[in-house]
């Protein structure tokens, strides 16, 4: 479909990683969430100049459901939602920060709304479609049907993340071409069903109408092979690109990611208001504690905490630092160039297939 | 190692299933938990008479940690532990039962302690080793070293369930021959790491010293193939045998199991006190609700509820009926003979390997 050499899709918020993976024979996919439309334009221009004509994609977040879907344009929405954040939540947060020596701030909440509303993600889609992208992915629920149609008009394939066969069916119904079937072990927003159980479910449900990629827990070649054995036609990866040479992952998070085992993640609402997998730290624990006021719905939870996350990044004892990452973090123990990660994945994949073939013939 | 035709291990509490799987070319493993030593003797005698000389195994539960490990023999222990169950928990339970129309009972708590203490599991081991079993499995943590040595003296291989690489290492250190690496998607007692992430972790940790079997989320041939692709040498299955023709699964549970999707399970302490995966029902929800007094430690939680489970099985609105089962329950939609399940697994396994080989050669 894309003329890529290896069936490896690499989700990253870092343009350097996207370029490195696409140039190495996989497909880099840029997460647009944290960029304004103007910034995204600059990122994609840079990618176009450096990717050497190889295919790449852009990933946006247009959730099917969120607070404020009917509250007007982005600016109006931001103001209204900010007024809806309870004082109790603000107080809990400031106390937690103070306990960990994080300094106060007088900055404005800034871009706290991010690209995860229809109002803020649409301009990103418009920017993306002005570039020679091969793929537009949506990370939360089925994208609006008119966005799918618009992408198709531009000759761009559309991918959607799904965490159940039922969600995959809904996506195919609005015209999505590629289902990224993502198991609970994945980093970031994730459902409850494991990759092992989910992939055959999704392939049986929509495999004749869409390409299915396996996601969640994939960071080594054996896992790519397992995803394909389950019926997928390729692998979607994310976490493993956080610790490559090219990544712009916050410096405070890197040693924590390298040291973590596969038991050190937790699925929590403490970042975005929807369940997402993160490094288990004092942050995720505090929000689960008895003192916690509970989570706000998306996008208010992140609006509440976005300023705090910046402050945590600059000061404090480091205990609150967390990061979205999957259970595969346990095998991310070494910083390597992205191209090396692609080649290692494929070498181990081939090895796994050869072992399987030998075992099966012997039986 | 066992001279079996297919690398499929089938855990079941039902002797008929054990015999059917072993005769079909896999390896049936009888769960001994619910049997007294005398009953177990009868079960194994029956298996010996019907299994046609094929290898089979026995599974006991000797948890590394539980309340009362130092409280004397089985009878003494039962009495002391019963005295430790808070009235608050008893009251919560009776109210819950009354809400769902479950009738009171004057029966004694009966065999509420089960085989999951050292004191109650050892006699089961002694019985098992008097039979020509090929495998002794332990379902919670590393078995005591002397039990491993005793099994080896009888020429019996020992398997241990592990939910992390660290646990697998501990088991190998006490002499376990086979590690059943079980992902969080499994039914019954289960950890947090998914099968996809766990298997390569465990294979890298102990693969040169022990045989590794993949468990958790395995109910179709594609999943057997995925487990092997991840580096395992066979598959350990459990849930899928609950709905075969031969199974003695409670009649109330069968339609619920057949109707459930892969989203309808939950990992809960509401049965044994340790996290175990079950069908999500009014039972698991009540124990998670605000009214819940919380869970008692193993083995007291099951002592508290064992009588209630029998009563729920006999009366009430059926809403409280649950059953230990993994996420694979979503694909258990049809009652089939056990031998047919074995053949279907292997046919789909071969198909998956052939597809993989074709894809890989084409690339």
Which chain B residues contact residue A217 at CB under 8 A?
Answer: 194, 196-197
Lowest-confidence pick of A226-235, B83-92, B114-123: B114-123
Choose which CATH entry (3.20.20.70, 3.40.50.170, 3.40.50.2000, 3.40.309.10) describes domain B1-66+116-248. 3.20.20.70
Minimal CA separation from B343 to chain A, in Å? 14
CA distances from A251 to A35, A105, A238 (A): 20, 21, 18
Mean pLDDT value of segment B194-222: 98
A134 contacts: CB under 8 Å, gap ≥ 6: A2, A27, A55, A56, A57, A156, A157
- Whether residue B263 and residue A194 make contact (CB cut-off 8 A), yes or no, is no
Which chain A residues contact residue B198 at CB under 8 A?
Answer: 262
Q: Per-10-residue mean pLDDT for chain A, 363 residues long?
A: 90 98 97 92 98 96 72 77 90 94 73 67 93 94 90 97 96 97 96 98 98 98 98 98 96 94 96 94 94 90 89 90 96 97 96 91 65
Q: Is A227 on the interface with B (CB under 8 A)?
A: yes
CB-CB contact of B136 with B57 (8 Å): yes
pLDDT in tens, B157-173: 999 999 999 999 999 99
Q: Which of B142, B318, B314, B346 is nearest to B237 (CA)?
A: B346
Give the largest Cα separation in chain B, rounded: 69
Structure tokens that stand for B309 in this block = 């489970």
pLDDT of residue B139: 86
Minimal CA separation from A139 to chain B, in Å? 20
Which chain B residues contact residue A268 at CB under 8 A?
Answer: none
Q: Is B334 on the interface with A (CB under 8 A)?
A: no
Q: Of the candidates A222, A231, A353, which has its C-beta nearest B360's C-beta?
A: A353
User: Could you give the residue ranges of the DSSP H alpha helices within chain B?
Assistant: 15-23, 37-50, 74-83, 87-99, 118-128, 145-153, 165-173, 195-206, 221-229, 253-259, 282-288, 300-314, 338-362
Q: How far apart are CA B37 and CA A119, in angstroms?
A: 67
Which chain B residues contact residue A185 at CB under 8 A?
Answer: 193-194, 196-197
The dotted CATH code for A1-66+116-248+338-363 is: 3.20.20.70
Which chain B residues contact residue A166 at CB under 8 A?
Answer: 261
B309 contacts: CB under 8 Å, gap ≥ 6: none
pLDDT of residue A108: 58
How many beta carbons lie within 10 A of that of residue B204, not counting itself? 15
Q: How far apart are CA B223 and CA B287, in angstroms?
A: 32
Mean pLDDT value of segment B26-50: 95
| Domain ranges within chain A, ordered by starting residue | 1-66+116-248+338-363, 74-114+250-332
Asked if residue B175 has pLDDT above 90, the reply is: yes
pLDDT of residue B114: 66
Q: How far apart are CA B277 and CA B185, in angstroms?
A: 8
Residue of B182, B196, B222 for testing the chain A interface, max A β-carbons within 10 Å: B196
Q: How far apart are CA A153 and CA A129, in angstroms?
A: 10
pLDDT of residue B313: 87
């Amino acid at each position: 479909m894309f003329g890529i050499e290896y069936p490896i899709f690499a989700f990253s918020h870092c343009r350097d990683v996207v370029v490195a993976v696409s140039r190495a024979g996989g497909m880099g996919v840029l997460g647009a969430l944290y960029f304004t439309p103007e910034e995204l334009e600059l990122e994609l221009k840079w990618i176009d100049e450096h990717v050497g004509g190889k295919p790449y994609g852009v990933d946006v977040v247009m959730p099917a459901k969120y607070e404020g879907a009917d509250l007007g344009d982005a600016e109006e929405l931001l103001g209204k939602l900010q007024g809806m954040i309870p004082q109790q939540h603000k107080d809990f947060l400031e106390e937690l920060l103070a306990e960990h020596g994080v300094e106060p701030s007088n900055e404005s909440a800034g871009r706290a709304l991010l690209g995860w509303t229809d109002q803020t993600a649409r301009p990103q889609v418009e920017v993306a479609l002005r570039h020679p992208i091969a793929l537009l992915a949506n990370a939360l629920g089925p994208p609006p049907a008119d966005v799918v149609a618009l992408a198709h008009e531009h000759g761009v394939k559309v991918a959607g993340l799904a965490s159940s066969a039922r969600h995959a069916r809904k996506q195919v119904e609005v015209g999505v071409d590629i289902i990224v079937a993502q198991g609970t072990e994945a980093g970031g927003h994730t459902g409850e069903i494991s990759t092992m159980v989910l992939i055959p479910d999704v392939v049986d449900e929509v495999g004749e109408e869409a390409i299915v990629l396996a996601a969640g827990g994939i960071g080594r070649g054996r896992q790519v092979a397992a995803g394909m054995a389950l019926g997928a036609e390729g692998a979607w990866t994310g976490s493993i690109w956080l610790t490559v040479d090219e990544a712009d992952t916050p410096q405070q998070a890197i040693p924590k990611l390298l040291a973590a085992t596969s038991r050190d993640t937790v699925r929590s609402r403490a970042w975005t208001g929807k369940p997402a997998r993160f490094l288990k730290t004092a942050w995720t624990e505090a929000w689960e504690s008895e003192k916690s006021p509970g989570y706000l719905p998306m996008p208010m939870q992140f609006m509440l905490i976005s300023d705090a996350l910046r402050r945590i990044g600059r000061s404090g004892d480091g205990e609150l630092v967390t990061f979205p990452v999957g259970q595969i973090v346990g095998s991310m123990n070494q910083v390597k160039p992205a191209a090396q990660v692609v080649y290692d994945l494929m070498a181990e994949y081939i090895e796994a297939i050869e072992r399987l073939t030998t075992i099966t013939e012997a039986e």
